[in-house]
Amino acid sequence: MIISVTAVGLAIYFLSVHRQITEEHLQTVVENRYPVKAVSYVKSKHLSGPLFNDYNWGGFLIWSLRELPVSIDGRLNLYGDEGLERSIKTWEGRPSWDSDPDLLKAKLIIAEKDRSLTSLLRLHPDYKIVYEDNISAVIVRIRRN
């Protein structure tokens, strides 16, 4: 029994070393997929919402910015198919993207850098990019219609 437990323990250890399962490596993986640095910027500047975000980052933002409710996340029972579809169309920059009610009430947007909506907001006079890194952008609304 002791030999089996030791063998399993060693196998797990060597597997974790081989797969680079370390806190540092996992942090790098998270930073390459989620807006970790954008969240740090928002916190350091004490930016306030309402927040507009993409569906894919909703869960991460709930965890990272607990004081700012997200506009959408994986809990589709709260937003429904219509809410998800509207969000997708807005992020794709489809016609009437600028009439999305969640976007219109937002003062803060955390966006993937290369999304169509990010490109549209980059050119829009009501919005300003205040932070940008390799994967994300923080955009604030600078005036209201």
Q: What are the tens digits of pLDDT across the range 116-142?
A: 999 999 999 999 999 999 999 999 999
pTM: 0.80
Beta bridge partners of 141: 127
Q: pLDDT confidence of 9, banded at 50, 70, 90?
A: low
Cis peptide before 101 (omega within 30 of 0): no
Within a 13 Å sphere around the CA of 88, how many CA atoms are in the beta-carbon half? 7
Question: What's the order of all strands across the beta sheet hosting 136-141?
Answer: 51-53, 108-112, 136-141, 127-132
With cut-offs at 50, 70 and 90, classify the pLDDT of residue 4.
low
User: Strand 51-53 and strand 108-112: pairing?
Assistant: parallel
